[in-house]
Amino acid sequence: MSCWIRGCPTKSGLTKKSLFTPYSDEMFNKWKDSGIAKKGINKFTKKSRVCELHFQKDDVIRVDTFKIEGSEDFLVPRKVPKLRKGAIPSIFPPVRHYHINSIGEQINYYRINVNKQNQKKQQTGETSVVAQLTSYGKNHQIFNNTEEIALVEYIKRIADIYYGITPKEVRKLAYQFAIKNGSKVRNSWNENKIAGEDWFRNFRKRNNSLPIRLKTTSLCKAISFNKHNVNLFFTNLKTICNCLKVKPSNIWNMDEIGISTVHTPDRVIARREMKQLGKIISTETETLVTMAVAVSAIGNTIPPFFIFPRAHYKDHFIQEGPLGSAGDVDPLGWMKEEHFIKYCQHFVHHVRPSKEKPVLLLLDNHESHLSIEALDYLKENGIIVLSFPYHCSHKLQPLDRSVYEPLKNHINTACDNWLASNPGKSLSIYDISEIIKTALPLATTSTNIQAGFRVSGISPLNENIFPDIEFLGSNILINREDTSIVIKAENDELLSVQENVDLSAAQENVDFLSLKKNNSPSSIYQDISHLPKVEPYQEKKRTCKRTNAIYTDSLEKDALMEQKLDCPRKSRISKEETEIEQKSKTIRKNKNKINSDKDVKVKEDSYADETMKDDSRVQGFKRELEADKILGSADDNGKLMYLMQWKGTDAVDMVSASEANAKCPQIVIRFYEERITWKRAKVKP
């Protein structure tokens, strides 16, 4: 709706004002007699609307006044202005000033551009002039639409590779481009060498697809989440689902989360003049309780499993927790291999898997999840264990995608309510189970759980859930062949990432005339601030780095067992070599203090005899030690090997089975007797 008066600014949509109509026949006749009928294009009727710009300032009421006895008048602003009784429109064009009936403003100036037709009417003596209002365009817009689109493209592209720029850097970049392009800017831009805050504010309004966010991403996650690891994970997942016909109800995800006694309070409403606002928390020193959660692809969940930082477990730790919960203790409250075995028993008890009805369990590569005993137990009960790729759980794990974030918020709210219900008390680890009983059902809803499996591409299975733009960060970081790294953009255009340039330093030799003609708009800003250059990434050596694998598979489990046995052996060897080297240095230092060469020889011979048995270069039965027991077995290129422990020392060695059978047959027999399982035949009644 617009004003009926010809030439009014509200007709062109430049401003929005309140509209009024004559509320009675008497007022209609008074408005008509005032000469308003000649000011419009159409016939003036009772339904014709006239805006507030054509009334005097006092004719429009914006505030209602209430009088209270014994006190001052009470003023209440009106949501919709109303017209004073008996008010008649009296302000019409052609004029250059319109009265604005608003608090704090009185006059608004508009430029009037009179065309040739209106000039002819003025020459003939006609009084009505059609006013054409010319606006200034978009406020504070220095660049044209093409240049702004290029800036938006550049900001998005550099954020896709995890090197996004801050609002201040965007303002610096805009100023540098405006100076190089010869655009007319304000004096404040030249004084501060940066674009103004008002320009950036209006720039964001014109491009609302650029929110300001902060979410940290570690370098390991950016590198590990690449196409190779993701494709390997989905290949294994597809193989299991096709071969074993695993249903969504039998796909489970398990992970741990730390619950602290010191929570983050929710925001509160307080006085504006208060600069330091506090909210009560329990203590300043936090204590961590680990909770293991498991959810299925159809939205089901099982009771949680707690690990408390205590030496001895008591039943009252989980007395107020969710029904069916279980727990254990650890001095630090962390999940370890012995705790994971108990959790597997807890999981089997509630899920009830079998070899006829297999279950797929998805978990990360934490060391506590790779217990050989636990993997054997899961395999015997029909559970297939599939691990996520290294440092990829933030994208592939359903619990991380849709459950843990709302769970943390509900825990904070529950802690606030608990402290308000128990004033003067501190939240301890024994109250964590009660907090979880309130917060966990609110976070582990069927909608949240199913959304996590859906956005990670697990259920329903969608191996193309992640577009190419998700892997831009890994493409720029793991390329080791050339220092000039190539990124694939959204429009399949290849951009060469050159050396990193500080945003405060402008390039001297930039041809902006050629930049404008370039088909790639984002390259306009790359010549001022290049995309970051990353040196060839050198991967740190890890003794036990693991990738995506099906750990209940025989080959993977054997390789894992050999790796677990080999890692402590290598660390022990390096430790022994270090100790031997340190002792040798001590002997060389003390050699000058010994007067007799004979004493030196005796001392060195005694040291050699002492360290001969623990020397890493002497292994197996060459140590001349008595065998104590066999810890495990492994396959070395088709040759059976035993992990032998020796009496009177912590040293262990891999020895061949043929040598052990000849030198210690009783220990070999005892090793197999401990692992024999007898199956009793069922007698039908």
The answer to which of 142-156, 194-208, 579-593 has the lowest mean pLDDT is: 579-593
Could you tell me if residue 587 is inside a domain? no
Whether 402 has a pLDDT exceeding 90, the answer reads: yes
Give tens-digit pLDDT for 479-501.
443 333 233 333 333 233 333 33
Report if residue 347 sits inside a domain. Answer: yes
Per-residue model confidence (pLDDT) at position 11: 59
What pLDDT score was predicted for residue 14? 54
Residues 380 and 451 in one domain: yes
Most confident option among 30-34, 93-97, 105-109: 30-34
Neighbour tally for 683: CB within 10 Å: 5
Tell me if 530 is assigned to some domain: no
> How much of the chain exceeds pLDDT 90, in percent?
24
What is the percent of the chain where pLDDT is above 70? 68
Hey, which of 39-53, 93-107, 150-164, 537-551 has the most confident mean pLDDT?
150-164
Residues 414 and 363 in one domain: yes
pLDDT for 515 beyond 90: no
> Taking all residues of the chain, what is their mean pLDDT, rounded to a whole number?
75
What CATH number should be reported for the domain holding residue 665?
2.40.50.40
Closest CA to 399 of 257, 289, 260: 257
> 354-381: per-residue pLDDT in tens?
988 999 999 998 888 888 889 889 999 9
**Mean pLDDT to the nearest integer, 432-441:** 94
The SS3 assignment for 616 reads: coil
**Integer Cα distance of 78 and 67 in angstroms:** 16
CB count in 10 Å sphere of residue 663: 14
Both 73 and 153 in one domain: the answer is: no
- The pLDDT, as a whole number, for residue 523 is 53
pLDDT at 372: 85
Instruction: Judge if 34 and 173 occupy the same domain.
Output: no
Mean pLDDT of 530-551: 55
Q: Quote the CA–CA distance of 671 and 630 in Å, as a whole number.
A: 6
Domain boundary among 83, 102, 119: 83
Kindly state whether residue 307 falls inside one of the protein's structural domains.
yes
Pair 333, 417 in one domain: yes
- The pLDDT of residue 27 is 85
The pLDDT assigned to 494 comes to: 28
pLDDT for 140 beyond 50: yes
Residue 361, domain member (yes or no): yes
Phi, psi of 642 (to 5 degrees): -110, 145
CA distance 161 to 532: 9
Domain that holds residue 157: 145-206
Q: At what angle do helices 597-611 and 554-591 cross, to 10 degrees?
A: 170
491 assigned to some structural domain = no
Rounded Cα distance between 98 and 91, Å, is 8
Confidence of residue 507 (pLDDT cuts 50, 70, 90): very low
* Domain end position, chosen among 470, 492, 514: 470
Q: What is the mean pLDDT of residues 67-86?
A: 76
**Does residue 383 carry a pLDDT above 80?**
yes
Q: How far is CA 440 from CA 54, 293, 321, 404, in A?
A: 62, 10, 10, 10
Residues 315, 198 within the same domain: no
pLDDT, one tens digit per residue, over 446-462 is 999 999 999 999 999 99
**What's the pLDDT band for 567 if we cut at 50, 70, 90?**
low
Same domain, 195 and 239: no
**Residue that terminates a domain, selected from 435, 451, 470:** 470
Flag whether pLDDT at 108 surpasses 90: no
Q: Is residue 313, in this structure, part of any structural domain at all?
A: yes
Q: What is the pLDDT of residues 624-648, one digit of tens each?
A: 788 888 888 887 777 888 888 888 7
pLDDT at 130: 39
* Within-domain flag for 667: yes
Instruction: Verify that 420 and 301 share a domain, yes or no.
Output: yes
Give the CA distances from residue 40 to residues 49, 83, 447, in Å, rounded to whole numbers and listed in that order. Answer: 11, 21, 58
Helix-strand-coil split of the chain, %, nearest 5: 40, 15, 45
Q: What is the pLDDT of residue 343?
A: 95
**pLDDT of 139 above 60:** no
Q: Name the band, by pLDDT with cuts 50, 70 and 90, for residue 597.
A: very low
Output the pLDDT for position 574.
Answer: 55
Q: How confident is the model at residue 581 (pLDDT cuts 50, 70, 90)?
A: low
Q: pLDDT (tens digit, 9 = 90+) per residue, 302-312?
A: 999 999 999 99
pLDDT digits (tens, 9 = 90+) for 227-267: 888 999 999 899 888 888 899 999 999 999 999 999 888 88
Per-residue pLDDT at 132? 38
243 & 177 share domain: no
pLDDT at 299: 94
Given the structure tokens 């191996």, which residue do they identify?
Answer: 463
Q: Are residues 152 and 16 in the same domain?
A: no
Yes or no: say if 375 and 421 are a contact pair by the CB < 8 Å rule: no
- Residues 190 and 339 placed together within one structural domain of the fold: no
Q: In angstroms, what is the C-alpha Rg of the chain?
A: 39
Does the pLDDT of residue 615 top 50, yes or no? no
Enter the pTM of the model.
Answer: 0.56
Domain count, the chain: 4
Both 182 and 230 in a single domain? Answer: no
Confidence check: pLDDT of 382 > 70 = yes
CATH number at 347 reads 3.30.420.10
Residue 93: pLDDT band (50, 70, 90) is low
Split at pLDDT 50, 70, 90, the class of 133 is: very low
